[in-house]
Amino acid sequence: MLSRVLLGVLVLAALAVGASLLSGPSDVECGPVTGTVRVADGDRLSPALARISEDDARAAALVAVPPAAVTSVDLDEEDGFLVYEVGLRHDRDEFDVVVDAGTGEVLCTERD
């Protein structure tokens, strides 16, 4: 049941981000992000700290920027929170999607 709720939240968040990308400027910069898994500078970033898998992050990013192809997935720290940074390519556009490593929520989408 929880996975269905999480999937629903991911879909709604991705639709909102996708709509903003379609109507927004060609270059989008993310502001500070707020995630759910806090990490300190210098902490070793281990997948064991994440509550979602790399595949979950990949799926959330693909919903945010359909249709696209994943070019990279990296576990990273942003603004003190553990996130997945997913690189995507669609046609000639490249995107960086920041996904909360705790919930799978898309926190930010940047068009490069």
Taken in order of first residue, the domains within the chain and their CATH numbers are 2-111 (3.10.450.40)
Strand partners, 24: none
pLDDT of 16 strictly over 50: no
pLDDT of 85 strictly over 80: yes
Q: From start to end of the chain, where are the E strands? A: 69-78, 81-90, 93-100, 106-111
Handedness of CA 9, 47, 82, 71 (dihedral sign): negative
Q: Kindly report the pTM of this predicted structure.
A: 0.74
Q: What pLDDT, in 10s, does the model give residues 21-76?
A: 443 333 456 889 999 999 988 789 999 999 999 999 999 999 999 999 999 999 99
